[in-house]
Amino acid sequence: MSGERRTRPAGAAGIRYAQCWEDPRAIEDALAVTSDDDVVSIASGGDNTLALLLKGPRSVTAVDRNPAQLHLVELKIRAVERLGYEEFAGFVGARPAGERLRTYGQLRSSLSPAARDYWDGNPDALAGGIVHCGKFEKYFGLFRRRVLPLIHGRRTVRRLLASPTVEDQREFYGRTWDNRRWRLLFRVFFGKFLLGRLGRDPSYFRYVTLDKVAATLLGRARHALAEIPIRDNFYVEYILTGNFRRLDSGPPWLQPGNFDELKANIGRLRLVRAGLTEYLSSLDPGSASRFNLSDIFEYLSEEEVETALREVCRVSAPRGRLAFWTLFIPRPVPESLKGQLRPSAALEDKWPAAARAFFYGGFRAWSVRP
C-alpha cells in the first residue's frame, strides 16, 4: 500500500458477512446449474456465488447494494486469479500466513479504484485474513472467546467435533454438551437484542413477529449439533474454533481440489452494485435462468418481496429456478404469483433439516412456469 495509512474497522465500514452462512449443498441441489445457465446471485461474502461458478454456468452476476461486500468479493476474485493455492488460502485467512499485507501489495493494482481505496483503509482486516473481517464473524468470535469458555473447555469442543457418528454426536450432546450454562448463555448471547446489535442489525428484525428468537435458535442449534454429521460441518467448526481444520471438506471455494476449476471459471463472474429489484428491472426477459437469493426476503416487506419476485418471473428464461432461505418469516409464494411460481415440496422438506448451518427455519426452492 502506498500513501498515507488510513485505518477504519472493516465491520464499521460495511462488511457484514465475510463468509456466506447458507449451506451451498442446498443451493446447488435446488438450482441444478448447468453450462447453459446465466445465474443471478446475491453477493454477500461471495462464497456461494463462487460455489455456483464451480458448476460451470455461462455467466454469474453477483449483486449487492452494499459496496463493501462487493469490494470483499472483488478481492477474493483477484486472489483466485493471481495466486497459487497455498498462498491464496493463507492470504484469505483459511490458513496461517505472516505476510498478508505483502500479498495484498501484489493484488492491489488489479483492483478497481473503489475496492483499492477500501482495502487501503483496512490494513487490519487484510492482516487478520479477510474471511474473518465481517461483523457476523466477529460476533461469533466474541462468543468463542468470551462465552464458550464459560460453558465448555477446548477438550470438550474437540470431542464434539471428533464424533465419528451421528449416534455418538447425539449421545455426547445430551450427556455432556447440553448443560444448564449452555442453554442459559446461548439464550442471552443469541437473543434478539445482542444478535441485532452485535451480529446483524436491529433493522433486520423489522418484519419479525416471533417472540422467542433465542429459544428458536437454541432448538435449531441442538438439531445441528446432535442430528447433522459434524465431521464435515465447517459452519459449526468455524463457530467453535475460528477456522477450518480440513479445507478438503470446507467451503467449496476454499477446497484445494476445486481451485483449478475456480480459476478457470473466474472470468465468467461480474459484480453489480444494486438492489435486487433494481438490477432485475434493468434486464430483458429471458436474461437469467437461475437465482440464488440468499435470505434477502427476510428483510423486505411483503410488498417488496412480491415486487422482486414479479421481476424474477419477468426476466427468467423458461423453467428458471430460484432458491432462498428464511430465518423467522415463512415467505410462501404470494397469492398473485401462484400461477407463475411452483414450489418443490421435496426440496423444501429436505432442507433446511439437512443443512449444516443451523440458523434458518425454512428453505424455498421454486421454479418459474414457462
Over the stretch 292-320, which tens digit does the pLDDT of each residue have? 999 999 999 999 999 999 999 999 999 99
Q: Tell the burial category of 278 from Cβ atoms under 10 Å away from its Cβ (0-12, 13-18, 19+).
A: middle
Q: At what angle do helices 67-82 and 85-92 cross, to 10 degrees?
A: 150
pLDDT of 291 > 90? The answer is yes
Q: What is the pTM of this model?
A: 0.94
Written as nine digits, the cell of 14 is: 460495511
Note the pLDDT of residue 67: 97
Note the pLDDT of residue 3: 36
Distance CA 51, CA 27 (A): 9
Angle in degrees, CA 343, 302, 271, rounded to 5: 75
pLDDT in tens, 260-288: 999 999 999 999 999 999 999 999 999 99
Residue ranges per structural domain of the chain: 137-249
pLDDT of 16 > 60? The answer is yes
Distance CA 358, CA 351 (A): 11
pLDDT in tens, 218-275: 999 999 999 999 999 999 999 999 999 999 999 999 999 999 999 999 999 999 999 9
